[in-house]
Structure 1
């Protein structure tokens, strides 16, 4: 069952969990499902909530930055493995 955020200034627990994990897209998806609202409205609600809760915004941004760093690391590892495989097969 959905509820209006402007009345309660809260998000469903699943949405908050997604934000704490740094997954804003999942949070928007979950809010859309819970509230039966459109994409733009859900994104706007999430953005308003994050602006009103700067500690959560910082936590979410830190999680996102950590995910980007992990992704960069694995892309680099795969690139090195691909180069080594190429050199080995050619050499």
Structure 2
């Protein structure tokens, strides 16, 4: 059985997106289950986003906005947080 290394993706921008998602979720005192329910995706999907195994799509970010998952964030802030700040470096 092959084990994935946690830090394998450390410089991967999609891994960094997942870390941002986890930070926001934890800051808002949400469980993975809470976030999955608000985004209408599986717990496994959220876990995979946060660990860099799945890529967060623009559609996922828009879903976060439309469902007011992180109510204080508007779409521009979310795009800046998940895309611009990561890919602009």
TM-score (norm 2): 0.30
Greater helix share, 1 or 2? 1
TM-score (norm 1): 0.30
Larger gyration radius, structure 1 or structure 2: 1
